[in-house]
Amino acid sequence: MDVLDPAQLAARHASLSATHDTDPGKLVALASEALRRAAHADAQSSLEAALIIGPELPSAWALYGELELSRSNVARARTCYERAVQLDDTDTLSAVTLAELYGQNAAADAKDKDRALALANFIALENGVPSEIIQRVSALKKNLRSGART
C-alpha cells in the first residue's frame, strides 16, 4: 500500500484489520518507539494504520517523513512533510525540515529555493520558536544565499 495515495488510504480504512489499535495517537506513539529502535517495518505498519484511521493527523505525516528520511527516500519524505505542514502550520520542526529538503534541491530548482526561503522566513516570524529551530533556519538561509547545498 502507498500511504501517499489518498485513494488507497480511503479504500483501506474500511478493511483495517482488527489486530490494530484504532487510536491513531497510540499508533503514532508505537511508530515513534519503533523508529527509535530502528524497527522500520514496525514503524511503517503502525504509521500506515494511523493514517488509514486518521489521514488528517499531522504528527503521523511528520513521523512518516522522518521514517522516509531514515531510509534515504527524500522525495517521499518531502511529500510527508508537505502534508504535515499543510495540516499544522505551527509545527516548526516539520516546517524547518521541509525547508531544508527544499534547500537540498535549490541549486537544481529555483522554485525549491523560493519555497525554502519562504518557509524559513515564515518560521523566523513565529513567536516562541525553539533556539534549535532558529539555528537551523539561520544556517539554511545562509546556505541558500551563498548557493551551498543544505
Query: What are the pLDDT digits (tens) for 71-81?
Result: 999 999 999 99
pTM greater than 0.75 (yes/no): yes
* Fold that domain 1-88 belongs to in CATH: 1.25.40
Model confidence pLDDT, tens digit, residues 92-106 = 999 999 999 999 988
* Alpha carbon distance 96, 122 (integer Å): 10
Q: Report which secondary-structure segment, H or E, holds 147.
A: none
Higher pLDDT, 57 or 107: 57
